Amino acid sequence: MTELFHRLRAANPDLNIMAVGDPAFRRYGRLLTAYDPSEMISRASQILPETEGVAYEPSVAALEAPSIFNRAIAQEVFGGMPMQVGWCYGQNLALDALEYHRGSEVNVCLTDVVLLVGHVQDICWGGDERHGQVSYDTANVAAFFAPAGAVVELSPWNLHYAPIHCAQGGSFATLVYLPKLTNEPLTFEAPKVGESRLLFATNKWLLAHPEVATLKAAGAYVGLTGENITVVAAPPAV
């Protein structure tokens, strides 16, 4: 494992950051080692915008143009379902929220990243599933380091949000493969009962942390309890 991984672990002794290749990650998804993403990494790196904060675009035409890698993911991971390719990039060190989808998400890591993940089975639905308080304790979140070049499948039962950048003064970038229309605005008003209370965008069920005012203002369901986990970026090598 890289020296950066060890510096990250040293900077976050209470977080127990593991490698995405660790068997513990199988609860949340899998590392896809049979695919060569180099063509897509090269294509994306030439056009990756700069930003402050976190940017996400669900569908980018230049990334969706045909490639051997895109065809393999569409056929072998998504089973021929319509697929979109976008990206998430910028600077981020905080959990802020957790989301899940009906269908896998594939991340191609353009940079080293930390993924903060959970499992939908750990969501608490209260005594009344339609009207009870929905919550998820962030003490259940696990942290995994994924190196640049890794191809990571987040299973449908995986809870996740924006990746974390690893080095002080650095940034992160991942390609994001999802079932088509995921994360696009809803075309209907979701009923405020049951699981639909969490429906924040198309195929996107989300639990926000109460500290994140922007998500609360946008109508996100506030359901994360416990600490809004913040990762300490690794200091420069001595």
User: In the prediction, which pLDDT does 1 show?
Assistant: 66
What confidence tens digit (pLDDT) does each residue in 106-149 have?
Answer: 999 999 999 999 999 999 998 787 888 999 999 999 999 999 99
pTM: 0.97
Query: Three-state SS across 83-126?
Result: EEEEEEEECCCECCEEEECCCCEEEEECCCEEEEEEEHHHCECC
**In which residue ranges of the chain is pLDDT below 50?**
none
* Average pLDDT across the chain, whole number: 97
Per-residue pLDDT tens digits for 22-35:
999 999 999 999 99
CA distances from 6 to 37, 52, 183, 214 (A): 25, 27, 34, 33
Interior angle at CA 153, CA 120 and CA 236, nearest 5: 100
Domains of the chain (ranges plus CATH)? 3-225 (2.60.120.10)
Interatomic CA distance for residues 106 and 160, integer angstroms:
12
